[in-house]
Structure 1
Amino acid sequence: MWSSELTAVILLTIECLDVGLITLSKAAMRRGMSDYVFVVYSNALAVPVLFLCSLLFHRRRSPPPLTPSILCRIFLLGLVSCSLQMLKFIGIGYSSPTLASAMTNLIPAFTYVLAIVTRMEKLDLKVKSSRAKCLGTLVSVAGALLITIYKGPGIEFASTTPSMLNHNLLLPRSNWIIGGFLTAAAAFMVAVLLVFQTSIIRDYPAELIVTLISHIFATMQSSLVSLIAERDPSAWRLRLDMELIAVGYSGIFVVALRGAVYAWVLHQKGPVFVAMFKPAGIVIAVIMGVTFLGDKLHLGSVIGAAIIALGFYTVVWGKAKEEKMAEDIAACGVNTSSHRVPLLQNKSTEV
């Protein structure tokens, strides 16, 4: 099992890749690429990558047999994945990467509520680790909202270009509202995906197989929707420019890699642990904007990033505390049973 610290580093890396995808997809859509077609090609490219990884991983150890019940649940998982991708990228097309990153701040709260409702997480405020996870999640969401709402005075480093947020304010208000609603709905669907996928993997512990089959279904489902929604045949032709780069990046580095990593971490740590890293996306977006786009850094971003870091540490500490308690209980059980065996043996000998 990965340690909580190593898992945190891996999930932060995935969030960096996810923020890059949001920016690349928006650039490709501005050049005329259909968001429906983008979802189809991204999932289709991820399938052979996941298939190869599954073959390598299971070359010596066969996966457990698939039952009709598990296959039906994976089909529904693919439908959820297809729906959230459609909502997300259509929402980005109506609004902006900034708003899409901001809406991901809702994912930890949605996931935490769903995990408690489905009894994947226990909310016992008498236990210190449970209080830490609850408080850390709330702190992370608060920090991300602070970055989104409060700008504060600017911090000058070098010559800056107009902020992306100021450019976004020029968008039509109707488009901004539609985009906000769609990206918020996508955030809720992400929470549903994390909780539902965790339940499947716990019953069928073959993470890569579940991820592979779900993306096969998602490719089929998104293709059907796209053929109905996108009537222009020329929209299916990929140009050798930003469109091809965006699809390749999305299929390999985000859809396939993120899907495999999420499945593994969901099995080991649960949905809340994965979801609480989502607010890091807004921090990463700010850092990338300052570094590569010359955006101005504001005091609100610095304070919000510090609050999110504090929330990260609190949740990771709470999760590590839970794992340590579980290990201590298991060790105590082994020691107790080992002490009991000689007594039983002595008693049987005496008899």
Structure 2
Amino acid sequence: MEMEGRAGGSLPFVGMIMVVLVQASSMVVAKMAMSDGLNKYTLAFYCNALSSLVLLPCPFIISRRSGSCPPLTFTVLRKIFLLALVGSASQICGYAGIDYSSPVLGTAMMNLIPAFTFILAVISRMEKVNWKSSSSQAKLVGTVASILGALVITVYKGPTVLRSPSLPSFVHPRHLVSLLSRQLNWVLGGFLLAAEAFLLSLWFIMQAFILKDYPVVLNIMFYLMFFATIFSGLLSIIMVREPQSWTLKLDVGLIAILYSSLVAGVFRVTLCTWCLKKTGPVFVSMFKPLGIVFAVGLGFIFLGEKLHLGSLIGAAVIAMGFYAVMWGKSREEEKIIEDSGGADGSLASSSQKIPLLQSKSLSA
């Protein structure tokens, strides 16, 4: 029994390592595909379309097996439509940001999500702030530190700390290099990735409101991906003029589409949700900065990327800000437990009242 308990306790730890590794590797695979010529708009369209096909049976299965499933009203469908619009915008910003910069910067910028979500939660009155409490002060300091770290890693590149001996053959200069310098590309990518983090934070807040009216996650995900397929398809038709950009070949582009939609999408979100259910949101969120380590290693091996001092300094500042926000959140949950006198009920009410960490980890 003791051995089984230890094994069961270690499974969420292994699961979250896999979640973060898949997230970082998906950015590297997408970068490889775009460097090999795959258009970012068609990449988003094909990923959304394949995810929609995978999730297509969910509404039929859930409606048959669950008689208590609430009806999908036009109001809820309209909210999901807007949610898909925001999600599609964040997806395009993410692919463009990685295309112009690197997966290392992408994983670093994802640590801005708790800070942006905290700000939006305060504005929308989902998060109550007591400026005299240490937990609120920690979240405020962590938010400011995360934003400052993002500015450092975007504006200041610094000297090279780690250099790859050779550049892989599939990585070649893109068309934007002829128009802008590499430094401007890096800055542009940083701001696009910061925009992605902000839009994802807004996406989490909107998702929380939708879940109150329609708490059927898989159904929401299917309609979300369906609308996202329409948005990305229309955008691809407008932005992509070359017919060859729509052609799929047996190359790294096809691998990126399959990996991003199936492994980085369906598998990663499902595994992260299971870990969240087993351990809680604080445990899940603590693994987020580990993605920088994976992105550095994978980018160094597969992309021949250089590691700069600015990336290290900025990532360290963002990570400290991230953990400050997480610490403040965990202190709030502990206080709720102490005030209510019971762990189970308070944790449930905490996740319902303050969905900050839960929303973030579900899409991490």
Give, in whole Å, the separation in 2 of the partners of 1:155 and 1:219. Answer: 39
Give, in whole Å, the separation in 2 of the partners of 1:319 and 1:141. Answer: 18
Q: Tell whether 2:49 aligns with 1:39.
A: no
The equivalent residue for 2:262 is 252
Q: Which runs of 5+ in 2 are unaligned?
A: 1-9, 345-364
Give, in whole Å, the separation in 1 of the partners of 2:194 and 2:146. Answer: 18
Shift of 1:260: 5.4
Q: Which amino acid aligns with 2:258?
A: G
Give, in whole Å, the separation in 2 of the partners of 1:137 and 1:279. Answer: 15
The equivalent residue for 2:354 is none
Shift of 1:276: 8.5
Q: TM-score, normalised by structure 1?
A: 0.71
The equivalent residue for 1:217 is 227
Contact 2:112–2:194 (8 Å) recurs in 1: yes
Q: Per-residue displacement from partner, 1:143-195 (whole Å, max 9, x unpaired)?
A: 66666647578479xx84579xxx99977426615544433433322221122
Give the alignment of 1:283-294 within 5 angstroms. Answer: 283-290=293-300
Q: Per-residue displacement from partner, 1:74-100 (whole Å, max 9, x unpaired)?
A: 011111111221232234334444454
The equivalent residue for 2:55 is 50
Give, in whole Å, the separation in 2 of the partners of 1:142 and 1:332. Answer: 38
Shift of 1:258: 4.9
The 1:140/1:14 distance shift into structure 2, 3 A limit, reads farther
The equivalent residue for 1:193 is 203
RMSD, aligned CA: 4.4
Give, in whole Å, the separation in 1 of the partners of 2:264 and 2:208. Answer: 19
Q: Which amino acid aligns with 1:237?
A: T
Q: Tell whether 2:238 aligns with 1:228.
A: yes
Shift of 1:67: 1.7
Match of 1:208 among 214, 218, 229: 218
Match of 1:61 among 54, 57, 66: 66
The equivalent residue for 2:98 is 92
Shift of 1:293: 6.2
The 1:259/1:212 distance shift into structure 2, 3 A limit, reads farther
Q: TM-score, normalised by structure 2?
A: 0.69
Shift of 1:64: 2.0
Q: Per-residue displacement from partner, 1:240-287 (whole Å, max 9, x unpaired)?
A: 110110000011122334555778969x989x9988976554343224
Contact 1:25–1:246 (8 Å) recurs in 2: yes
SS in 1 for 2:206: helix
Deviating more after overlay: 41-50 vs 72-81: 41-50
Give, in whole Å, the separation in 1 of the partners of 2:243 and 2:319. Answer: 47
Contact 1:155–1:296 (8 Å) recurs in 2: yes
Q: Which runs of 5+ in 1 are unaligned?
A: 335-351
Q: Which amino acid aligns with 2:207?
A: Q
The equivalent residue for 1:173 is 180
Give, in whole Å, the separation in 2 of the partners of 1:228 and 1:142. Answer: 36
The 1:332/1:171 distance shift into structure 2, 3 A limit, reads same
Q: Per-residue displacement from partner, 1:209-245 (whole Å, max 9, x unpaired)?
A: 2122111110112112222322333322210110110
Deviating more after overlay: 94-103 vs 43-52: 94-103
How many residue pairs are counted as aligned between the two chains? 324
Contact 2:101–2:190 (8 Å) recurs in 1: yes
Q: Tell whether 2:21 aligns with 1:16.
A: yes
Give, in whole Å, the separation in 2 of the partners of 1:200 and 1:323. Answer: 23
Q: Per-residue displacement from partner, 1:284-303 (whole Å, max 9, x unpaired)?
A: 32243456667676777667
Give, in whole Å, the separation in 1 of the partners of 2:269 and 2:293. Answer: 22
Q: Which amino acid aligns with 2:259?
A: Y
Deviating more after overlay: 75-84 vs 297-306: 297-306
Give the alignment of 1:1-351 within 5 angstroms. Answer: 13-52=18-57, 60-62=65-67, 63-139=69-145, 149=156, 154=161, 160-161=165-166, 172-173=179-180, 176=185, 178-258=188-268, 280-290=290-300, 311=321, 313-331=323-341
Contact 2:115–2:322 (8 Å) recurs in 1: no
Give, in whole Å, the separation in 2 of the partners of 1:300 and 1:35. Answer: 27
The 1:262/1:205 distance shift into structure 2, 3 A limit, reads farther
Shift of 1:22: 2.0
SS in 1 for 2:55: helix
SS in 2 for 1:173: coil
Shift of 1:65: 1.7
The equivalent residue for 1:349 is none
SS in 1 for 2:227: helix
Contact 2:248–2:254 (8 Å) recurs in 1: yes
Contact 1:161–1:293 (8 Å) recurs in 2: no
The 1:220/1:23 distance shift into structure 2, 3 A limit, reads same
The equivalent residue for 2:358 is none
Give, in whole Å, the separation in 2 of the partners of 1:89 and 1:223. Answer: 15
Q: Per-residue displacement from partner, 1:24-43 (whole Å, max 9, x unpaired)?
A: 12221222222211111101
The 1:187/1:275 distance shift into structure 2, 3 A limit, reads farther
Work out the percentage of aligned pairs sharing the same amino acid.
42
Shift of 1:107: 3.5
Give, in whole Å, the separation in 2 of the partners of 1:11 and 1:119. Answer: 30
The 1:244/1:162 distance shift into structure 2, 3 A limit, reads closer
